[in-house]
Amino acid sequence: MKQIKIYLFALLAALTVAACSNSDDNGGSGTSNSRNDNKNIVTIGVPAEVTRMEFPKIKGGTSQIIVHKTDQYGVNFCTEYDLKLKSQRWSCYAVYKTNNVTGWNRIYWKNGINGQPFQWDGKTWGHKVEPFQLDPAISADSQAGIHEYNNNKPFYARGHIVASQDRINCMDANGQTFYMTNMQPMQHEGFNDGVWSKMEEKIRNFASTYIKTTSDTMWVCKGGTIDKGDQILGYTTNHFIIPKYFFAAVLVKNTQGLRAIGFWFEHKAYASSEKLSAHVVNIARLQELTGIDFFCNLPDSDENKVENDNLTAERIKSLWNITN
């Protein structure tokens, strides 16, 4: 059975009830008394999950934090969704040895389990239908309809922020990635099925390469630009934002220490030969471009290392073995 938590930010600092601690039990870095001046704070209406390492600094305001969970694996992924803008800002998730497993096949949604229809989220699946649906965590009028993007002119794909293939450990985890709050309208040919897909595959390769023991963890935050006018490409027919840029921030902690990488993409069709390496940036640069403070729950000393603006893109590509 899936679980969903949703929280509306309370902005009054006087309502603070607890300071954020490093509660992420999946390879958290540092100690409880490590200095951290810009971590997320748990206030009334703000969930404890915002203290997890995959979280960037939350924006608050008219935004909500949606926490998707499964009974088997706990927190699946989290999203900051802006109700006023009717758009998700980012989604974040953690990958570790025990949740980086295969327990579900995405073809079941269309073909059924052993050819038989099945129930999930109150609906019957297995009848050649993709499992895109509205997120029950927020009102229907606050999110794009199931066919909002692909009925638009021009056509846009329903682009996953947390990739469906990244969450195949169980049916609930995979199904939650098809909620419309996890989507952004994406140019299909040359972007969603091109360089963005290459990036998703590369991140999965990172997990296979760097997550070897139960103490290893990879944290990922991905999204599209929705807050600055010059970073919005346009709007759909029903006035949902089409981001002009998309991004990803990845942090790995293993026996070799901490390493981080950023990706920044202009939202357009690229040639099939487009190299992923052309879109690598350091975390400091990605923060400058997006206005988002990534991995803010790290102790300051570790965060400063991760955000090292002296770490060139060429050096990052070498460290992460990105050659194309």
C-beta separation of 217 from 252 below 8 A: yes
Q: What is the DSSP letter of 55?
A: -
Sign of the torsion angle spanned by Cα atoms 93, 97, 99, 100: positive
pLDDT number for residue 12:
34
In whole angstroms, how far apart are CA 137 and each of 73, 156, 159?
19, 24, 19
pLDDT tens digits for 253-291? 999 999 999 999 999 999 999 999 999 999 999 999 999
Q: Which domains does the chain have, with CATH numbers?
A: 92-319 (3.40.570.10)
Low-confidence ranges of the chain (pLDDT < 70): 1-33
Query: Percent of the chain, pLDDT > 70?
Result: 90
Distance in angstroms (rounded) separating the CA atoms of residues 282 and 292: 13
What's the CA gap between 133 and 151, in Å, rounded?
15
* CB contact set of 14 (below 8 Å; sequence gap of 6+): none
249: closest CA among 210, 219, 227, 225?
219
Cα 111 off chain centre by: 27
Q: What integer pLDDT is reported at residue 15 of this predicted model?
A: 33
The H-or-E segment that residue 4 falls in is strand 2-8
pLDDT, position 23? 36
Q: Which of 209, 198, 312, 177 is nearest to 265 (CA)?
A: 198
pLDDT at 28: 43
